[in-house]
Amino acid sequence: MDTMNKHNRSYAATRAVIKIVSITILTIGAVTMLIPFIWSLLTSLKSAENVFAHSAFWIQWPPDFSAYKEIWEKVPILKYAWNTLKVALIVTFGQLLTSSLAGYAFAKLKFPGKDRLFVFYLATMMVPGTVLLIPNFIIMSKIGAVNTPWALILSAVGSVYATFLMRQFFLTFPSELEDAAKLDGCNPFSFYWRILLPNSKPILTTLGLMAFQGIWNDFQWPLIVLNDPEIRTLQVGLSYLTNEYYTDWNLLMAGSILTVLPILILFFCVQKYFVQSFKLTGLKG
């Protein structure tokens, strides 16, 4: 009895220690993750002369919103946001449409050469984006898409990766439903449109979020194909801001906060699907 108690007590003690150590490490990590955002937000709420006048730990109270007002006047930020949103929405819906159609064909329809084509498809996932930059820039300039939103849209409306994930999802779809639909005289398209898509909302939402976030945050490709300030996306606009207002930190931080905010809000609204999309990235290999 006595040894048993002792054992239990030492076991409980170990568990308590593990818990405390875990929480300490996790808290230090979480604070490290969040401090850059908090510090940026605090800086954006200082007036220009106060950014350097006081120590880093000084907080302006009441907060000063002049940086946000100034950025509104100096940078066409609404226009950038609209340019980004427009492209992101078109790409998201375009990619969902083409990838779900192709994913359905690969999962459920029979046609000669399907398996070979699918292996070929998978193989293209090995092609890194870096090797595509130069040839795609040349293609876009040949077809006159450089400096238009089409340069961002055309190359992104189809996706091997999304097709692959759609196919994996559609494979789990019960064949009985499909057979029943066939007997009712449904052709493949009406089955896809009326039965498959309405029953695939989780995967569509997850992949849609991935596409949307990818385009919203994309930087290198828009930097290369958009020179015209009129059609810049938010990220490219924010990056150019550093050239003009090099040490206006309150202004730069206000810009950063503003471009991050929409994605953050989206994240908190549909966190479940975001986490799902991260997990799917693990399936890619």
Partner 1 sequence: MEITQNIPAVVKKASINKNKFREALWGYLFITPNFLVVLIFTIFPVFFSFYMSLTDWNILGQANYVGFSNYQKIITDSVAIQTFKNTLYYTVVSVPINVFLTLVLAVLLNQKLRGISFYRTAYYIPVITASVAVSLMFMWILASNGLVNQLLVSIGLEPVKWLTDAKVALNSVIGVTIWKGLGMNMIIFLAALQDVPTELLEAAAIDGASRIQQFTRIIVPLISPVIFFVTITGVIGSFQSFDLVYNMTHGGPGYATTVIGYYIWQQAFNYMHMGYGSALAYIVFIAILILTLIQWVLRKRWVYSEE
CB of residue 109 vs partner 1: minimum separation in angstroms? 4
Positions in 25-84 near partner 1 (CB under 8 A):
25-27, 29-30, 32-37, 39-40, 43, 52, 55-57
- Is residue 17 a contact residue for partner 1 (CB under 8 A)? no
Choices 14-22, 70-78, 173-181, 195-203 (CB under 8 A): range interacting with partner 1: 14-22
Alpha carbon of residue 185 to chain centroid: 40
Choices 62-70, 125-133, 169-177, 195-203 (CB under 8 A): range interacting with partner 1: 125-133
Positions in 205-224 near partner 1 (CB under 8 A):
213, 216-217, 219-220, 223-224
Write down how long the chain is. Answer: 285
Nearer to partner 1, 59 or 132 (CB): 132
CB of residue 249 vs partner 1: minimum separation in angstroms? 5
- Is residue 202 a contact residue for partner 1 (CB under 8 A)? no
Choices 62-70, 172-180, 200-208, 246-254 (CB under 8 A): range interacting with partner 1: 246-254
| Interface with partner 1 (CB under 8 A), residue from 93, 137, 150, 173 | 137
Nearer to partner 1, 14 or 201 (CB): 14
- Is residue 171 a contact residue for partner 1 (CB under 8 A)? no
Nearer to partner 1, 89 or 139 (CB): 139
Nearer to partner 1, 105 or 211 (CB): 105
Per-position x/- string for 75-114, each x denoting binding to partner 1 as judged by CB under 8 A, each - no binding: ----------------------xxx-xx-xxx--xxxx-x
Nearer to partner 1, 5 or 124 (CB): 124
Secondary structure string (H, E, C) spanning the chain: CHHHHHHHHHHHHHHHHHHHHHHHHHHHHHHHHHHHHHHHHHHHCCCHHHHHHCCCCCCCCCCCCHHHHHHHHHCCHHHHHHHHHHHHHHHHHHHHHHHHHHHHHHHHCCCCCHHHHHHHHHHHCCCCHHHHHHHHHHHHHHCCCCCCCHHHHHHHCCCHHHHHHHHHHHHCCCHHHHHHHHHCCCCHHHHHHHHHHHHCHHHHHHHHHHHHHHHHHCCHHHHHHCCCHHHCCHHHHHHHHHHHCCCCHHHHHHHHHHHHHHHHHHHHHCHHHHHHHHHHHCCCC
Nearer to partner 1, 68 or 104 (CB): 104
- CB 188, CB 111: distance < 8 Å: no
CB of residue 180 vs partner 1: minimum separation in angstroms? 14
Give the span between the Cα atoms of 77 and 264, in whole angstroms.
18
- CB 74, CB 186: distance < 8 Å: no
Nearer to partner 1, 121 or 173 (CB): 121
CB of residue 32 vs partner 1: minimum separation in angstroms? 7
Q: Identity (one letter) of the amino acid at 280?
A: L
